[in-house]
């Protein structure tokens, strides 16, 4: 997992005033997979008896994320189509018995959820729903897409704030300060559309056109 992806997700929770613990695999005797990744253990400062959010977290759910073990699989070059989910059982690692035991030892309770951060789901309805069903079959409690997470961070960052301790937040702040980010979307102060040509193309008349003109 990219260190940048982990840092962004960590700071997303810190901006929301969650307690965040990064778990680094450091036991030399522990079996290692080809992609062990790094888990985050997050806990809200105040526990409220809120209704649990839907499986796919949206902007309106982000204030009610419960105590969770978080895995990040932000493969930004891909969308998570059903075939991608089915071909990568590592996506269900956060819901494994081993991770559950680890979460219980860290939280001191088994009352916690599992959350997987992914890049993007398909835009089309049917593949999107099938991909969500495949992710649920892995035993996950919640999934969040990276754009949802980034949009929330950008909204919370103020252009005149001080984030020098975090290169990630400072970069987002500067992009917002100099109007490269507007209305939570990337917009550029110059046109990205191709210029309209003022030259009228010459088209040779066909024999049929010539005959029609004679008529």
Secondary structure percentages of the chain, helix, strand, coil, to 5: 40, 15, 45
Q: How far apart are CA 192 and CA 187, in angstroms?
A: 10
pLDDT of residue 163: 87
Cβ distance 142 to 71 under 8 Å?
no
Among residues 164, 140, 43, which one has the least CA distance to residue 91?
140
Nearest one of 95, 88, 38 to 68, comparing CA atoms: 95
Q: Indicate the SS3 state at residue 177.
A: helix
Q: How confident is the model at residue 3 (pLDDT cuts 50, 70, 90)?
A: confident
pLDDT of 32 = 40
pLDDT at position 213 is 52
Calculate mean pLDDT across residues 150-163: 90
Average pLDDT over residues 1-30: 80
The CATH number of domain 3-186 is 3.40.1350: yes
pLDDT digits (tens, 9 = 90+) for 78-128: 899 999 999 999 999 999 999 999 999 999 999 999 999 999 999 999 999
């Amino acid at each position: 997992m990219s260190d940048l992806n982990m840092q962004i997700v960590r700071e997303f929770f810190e901006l929301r005033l969650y307690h965040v613990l990064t778990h680094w695999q450091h036991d030399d005797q522990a079996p290692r997979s080809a992609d062990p990744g790094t888990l985050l253990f997050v806990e809200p400062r105040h526990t409220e008896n809120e209704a649990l959010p839907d499986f796919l977290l949206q902007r309106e759910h982000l204030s009610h994320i419960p105590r969770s073990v978080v895995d990040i699989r932000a493969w930004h070059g891909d969308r998570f189509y059903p075939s991608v989910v089915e071909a990568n059982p590592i996506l269900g690692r956060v819901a494994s018995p081993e991770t559950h035991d680890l979460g219980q030892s860290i939280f001191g309770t088994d009352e916690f959820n599992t959350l997987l951060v992914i890049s993007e789901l398909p835009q089309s309805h049917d593949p999107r729903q099938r991909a969500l069903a495949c992710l649920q079959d892995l035993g996950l409690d919640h999934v969040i897409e990276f754009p949802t997470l980034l949009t929330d961070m950008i909204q919370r960052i103020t252009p005149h704030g001080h984030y020098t301790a975090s290169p990630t937040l400072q970069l987002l702040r500067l992009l917002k300060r100099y109007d490269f980010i507007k209305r939570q979307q990337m917009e550029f102060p110059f046109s990205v559309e191709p210029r309209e040509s003022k030259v009228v193309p010459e088209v040779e008349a066909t024999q049929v056109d010539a005959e029609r003109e004679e008529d």
